Amino acid sequence: MELPVIDLGPYLECSAKFIADGAPKTPLGLDDLGPELRDLCSVVSETLRDTGALLIKDPRCSAEDNDRFLDMMEKYFEKSDEFKRQQERPHLHYQVGVTPEGVEVPRSFVDEELQNMINMMPEEFRPSIPMGPDPKWRYMWRVGPRPPSTHFQELNSEPVIPEGFPEWKDTMDSWGSKMISAIEVVAEMTAIGFGLPKDAFTSLMIRGPHLLAPTGSDLGRYGDEGMVFAGYHYDLNFLTIHGRSRFPGLNIWLRNGRKVEVKVPVGCLIFQAGKELEWLTAGECTAGMHEVVVTKQTIAAIESARLKNQSLWRVSSTLFAHIASDAMLKPLGHFAELPSSSKYPAMCAGEFVELELSAINLKGKKKQEVS
Ligand SMILES: [Fe+2]
């Protein structure tokens, strides 16, 4: 199945024109958008609702930017384990620096309820069941400002920069902030599409614990068909965005239960709906289930990379955008009137994240997403 690609250009142009027209303090209202852009916002919210995912093109996030980021991360993940372990901070619960392979545990490996659900799925749509922890590395890099005071104090750890990478900070910050900008626009368009105020989501994202968390999977070692790099799971944050990976392998599950292998076109970014978005919409938009496995298409890409002497590390430029830890997570606007809203009680987003992590026994071990 081909997901539609949403070009953010026209929406950005409209926003810029409105601001340039001299009313920067007045929010861009529905009337300013015109029928075509309003329809586009509906396509965004409906696609997220029906597929849990969204493909976009943002003129501010170029294929060259993505390549620069992937090139640096491939160079890093290709370093020896000894080198990479210098950036490991287990005493800080891996909240910064590198997380080696074999540490992250997929929810489907520990959650019996999820395992039962999987066993009841038709075989053709059933996810691959991982046999243990994910065999992928990850690097954690915080993006954006943090709150001056919070009830959910994160460790104030210094960011970790590997030796021999003078471009590290610039590359991480620049790609991270570009992806956050794309998320903010999609969050606005989703809010409008759902009939909420434009800033319904973005106002809750301010000073959220956003995290750039690229993964590296060694397809030279683990390139056999069916190898699970990220077991079947949902993301617990608000929205996740990835740049295009050089190796396919992402499967998503549509709302109707169908499993789909996603093809991300060059220059595009892919979004996935997280559990915080599900909470804010009382389940209208459920968190998208997904997995990353070695497929026939991955193997074809491995062969092609081998012939061209290119890196066999599959880098995923994942960024997790969160609702601010102290903001209230509860169904918004008309979603609060839905009967399903009782399943989504109000609580601080930080408390929600802690509950999710304790459900999979990772509280204290890792404070962030497991994916
Ligand atoms: Fe994920």
The closest of 95, 88, 89 to 155, measured between CA atoms, is 95
Is there a domain that residue 368 lies in? no
pLDDT score of 23: 54
Give the number of other Cβ atoms within 10 Å of residue 303's Cβ.
11
Mean pLDDT of 294-305: 95
Is there a domain that residue 369 lies in? no
Distance 135 CA to ligand 1 centre (A): 14
Pairing, β 137-142 against β 211-212: antiparallel
pLDDT score of 9: 95
Distance 15 CA to ligand 1 centre (A): 31
Distance CA 23, CA 45 (A): 27
Sole residue written with tokens 């601080």: 348
Lowest-confidence pick of 51-65, 111-125, 284-298: 111-125
Token pair of 116 as six digits: 């039962």
Distance 232 CA to ligand 1 centre (A): 8
- Judge whether residue 110 has pLDDT over 70: yes
Contact 193, 42 (CB under 8 A): yes
Reported as a single tens digit per residue, the pLDDT across 321-358 is: 999 999 999 999 999 999 999 999 999 999 998 888 77
pLDDT score of 42: 96
Distance 177 CA to ligand 1 centre (A): 20
Distance 319 CA to ligand 1 centre (A): 10
The closest of 177, 208, 204, 210 to 191, measured between CA atoms, is 204
Parent domain of 98: 5-359
Distance 246 CA to ligand 1 centre (A): 17
Q: Which residues contact 213 (CB under 8 A, 6 or more apart)?
A: 138, 139, 140, 141, 318, 319, 320, 368, 369, 371
pTM for this one? Answer: 0.91
The closest of 207, 51, 230 to 134, measured between CA atoms, is 230
End-to-end, the C-alpha distance of the chain in Å comes to 23
- Judge whether residue 362 has pLDDT over 60: no
Distance 289 CA to ligand 1 centre (A): 8
Q: Using 50, 70 and 90 to split pLDDT, how confident is the model at 367?
A: very low
Distance CA 369, CA 365 (A): 11
Distance 21 CA to ligand 1 centre (A): 40
The secondary structure of 194-252 as a DSSP string is TTS-TTTTHHHHTT---EE--EEEETTTS-STT-EEEEEE--SSSEEEEEPPSS--EEE
pLDDT score of 224: 92
Mean pLDDT of 267-278: 96
Distance 133 CA to ligand 1 centre (A): 14
Q: How far is CA 233 from the centre of its chain?
A: 12
Distance CA 125, CA 322 (A): 29
Is there a domain that residue 371 lies in? no
Is there a domain that residue 143 lies in? yes
Reported as a single tens digit per residue, the pLDDT across 120-154 is: 999 999 998 887 888 899 999 998 888 877 777 66
Is there a domain that residue 276 lies in? yes
- Judge whether residue 280 has pLDDT over 50: yes
- Judge whether residue 237 has pLDDT over 80: yes
Distance 290 CA to ligand 1 centre (A): 6
Distance 61 CA to ligand 1 centre (A): 21
Is there a domain that residue 252 lies in? yes
Distance 87 CA to ligand 1 centre (A): 23
DSSP three-state, residue 30: helix
- In eight-state DSSP terms, residue 332 is -
Lowest-confidence pick of 48-62, 99-113, 117-131, 341-355: 99-113
Mean pLDDT for the chain?
A: 89
Number of compact structural domains in the chain: 1
Distance CA 116, CA 2 (A): 30
Contact 135, 217 (CB under 8 A): yes
- Judge whether residue 279 has pLDDT over 90: yes
The closest of 136, 118, 138 to 126, measured between CA atoms, is 118
Count CA within 13 A, CB hemisphere, residue 332.
24
Mean pLDDT of 225-249: 92
Q: Using 50, 70 and 90 to split pLDDT, how confident is the model at 294?
A: very high
Distance 291 CA to ligand 1 centre (A): 7
Distance 371 CA to ligand 1 centre (A): 4
Q: Which residues contact 91 (CB under 8 A, 6 or more apart)?
A: none
Distance 217 CA to ligand 1 centre (A): 14
Distance 77 CA to ligand 1 centre (A): 20
Q: Using 50, 70 and 90 to split pLDDT, how confident is the model at 365?
A: very low
Distance CA 77, CA 165 (A): 12
Q: Which residues contact 314 (CB under 8 A, 6 or more apart)?
A: 215, 216, 217, 219, 229, 245, 246, 247, 249, 298
Distance 66 CA to ligand 1 centre (A): 19
Is there a domain that residue 367 lies in? no
Contact 57, 5 (CB under 8 A): yes
Reported as a single tens digit per residue, the pLDDT across 197-224 is: 999 999 999 999 899 999 999 999 999 9
Pairing, β 290-293 against β 250-253: antiparallel
Domain CATH number, residue 67: 2.60.120.330
Is there a domain that residue 132 lies in? yes
